[in-house]
């Protein structure tokens, strides 16, 4: 028996199996399969949402009360996971226990969605311990960003399901953020998203194109190169952002994606607002804009900077694997399919 099967069976025991079987046989509960992509059921007001820390530990306990208020502001009830109150060094718990909690949240029929409390570090460590077949069969919205990129990407690749790059419990849930969170997760319709005129938007390469959305935090996404958790990137719309990374580090990570052939496979690239990515010694460094121009301007695909996702206050909720259209001339992104059923 491999490790992930052991973790799942030991953690959930026999009680999980009847729940899983009833989920599969109930037609009204089975998520829609669209071109091999499983979509979760739409959230609705009054739903219970599991909040967990699949990566870094939560040392600020006041943030838990704030998270409950944030979820309540969009009509959702918070169910706190065990990892919100444990820690294992800089991690919230051991790899096995974090994986076990993720599996429990997916198979619990009373939990209608899952939100990560924070990113931090360590999500990639749990990937080998997850049962992706069971996750797919119990598909539900899973939302997060930053280090959560590892889980979102793995869910798309291994479970063939949509998850959501969006706010975590630590995030500032502004009216803007709540608007796109609810429009994407509560409504079974396409959503148009436009970069506000006052953002730091600029075009790197003009054009309009379409593709399935994939991406997240640049640091985490680039570290999945060469692993079985990175999907086929052909024809995708790649969205990337980062925080607290000097331009030379951004340079290194984009070079990794370029040498791996990823930048030449995608249909378009969307760069989010990268906070605190300026050089400490500008006179000895390329700027972030120069690095982006060097790597992305000659790809013959549309590219723009300044999209509203990542480590910023106002953010979109982006569904992984959903077809979208980007317009690099004006900095817009439009979903072409519903992300929930």
* Residue 49 in tokens: 């949402």
Scan for tokens 């396409």, then name that residue: 190
Reported as a single tens digit per residue, the pLDDT across 17-31 is 333 333 333 333 444
The pLDDT confidence band at residue 14, using thresholds 50, 70 and 90, is: very low
pLDDT confidence bin for 134, thresholds 50/70/90: very high
Indicate which residues carry an active-site annotation: 146, 241, 311
Instruction: Give the end-to-end CA distance of the chain in Å, rounded to a whole number.
Output: 35
pLDDT at position 198, please? 66
pLDDT at 1 over 70: no
> Would you tell me the crossing angle of helices 247-259 and 288-296 to the nearest 10 degrees?
10
Question: What is the CATH architecture assignment of 3-173?
Answer: 3-Layer(aba) Sandwich (3.40)
Q: Which region among 170-179, 274-283, 298-307 has the lowest average model confidence (pLDDT)?
A: 274-283
* pTM: predicted TM-score of the whole model, two decimal places: 0.89
Q: Is the pLDDT of residue 34 over 70?
A: no
Question: Does position 332 have pLDDT exceeding 90, yes or no?
Answer: yes
Same fold, 3-173 and 192-335: no
Residue 242 has pLDDT above 60, yes or no: yes
Residue 306 — pLDDT band, cuts 50, 70, 90? Answer: very high
CATH number of 192-335: 3.50.30.60
Q: Could you tell me what percentage of the chain is helix, strand and coil, using 3-state DSSP and rounding each to the nearest 5?
A: 35, 20, 45
* Cα separation, 187 vs 148, whole angstroms: 24
Mean pLDDT over 223-233 rounds to 97
Domain boundaries, the chain: 3-173, 192-335
């Amino acid at each position: 028996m491999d490790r992930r099967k052991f973790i799942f069976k030991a953690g959930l025991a026999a009680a999980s199996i009847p729940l899983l079987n009833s989920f599969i046989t109930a037609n009204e509960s089975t998520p829609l399969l669209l071109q091999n992509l499983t979509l979760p059921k739409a959230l609705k007001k009054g739903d219970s949402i599991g909040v967990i820390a699949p990566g870094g530990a939560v040392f600020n306990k006041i943030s838990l009360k704030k998270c409950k208020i944030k979820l309540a502001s969009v009509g959702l009830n918070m169910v706190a996971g065990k990892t919100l109150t444990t820690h294992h060094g800089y991690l919230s718990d051991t790899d096995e226990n974090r994986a076990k909690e993720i599996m429990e949240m997916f198979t619990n029929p009373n939990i209608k969605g899952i939100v990560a409390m924070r990113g931090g570090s360590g999500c990639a460590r749990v990937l080998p311990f997850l049962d992706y077949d069971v996750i797919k069969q119990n598909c539900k919205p899973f939302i997060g960003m930053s280090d959560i990129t590892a889980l979102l990407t793995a869910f798309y690749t291994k479970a063939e399901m949509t998850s959501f790059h969006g706010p975590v419990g630590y995030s500032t849930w502004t009216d803007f953020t709540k608007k796109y969170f609810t429009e994407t997760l509560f409504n079974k319709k396409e959503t148009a998203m436009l970069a506000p005129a006052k953002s730091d938007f600029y075009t790197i390469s003009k054009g309009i194109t379409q593709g399935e959305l994939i991406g997240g935090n640049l640091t985490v996404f680039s570290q999945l190169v060469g692993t079985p958790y990175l999907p086929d990137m052909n024809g995708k719309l790649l969205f990337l952002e980062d925080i607290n990374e000097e331009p030379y580090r951004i340079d290194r990570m984009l070079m990794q994606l370029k040498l791996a052939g990823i930048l030449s496979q995608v249909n378009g690239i969307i760069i989010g607002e990268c906070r605190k990515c300026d050089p400490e010694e500008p006179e000895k460094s390329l700027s972030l804009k120069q690095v982006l121009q060097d790597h992305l301007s000659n790809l013959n695909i549309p590219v723009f900077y300044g999209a509203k996702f990542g480590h910023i206050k106002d953010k979109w909720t982006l569904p992984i694997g959903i077809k979208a259209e980007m317009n690099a001339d004006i900095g817009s992104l439009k979903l072409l399919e519903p992300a929930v059923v």
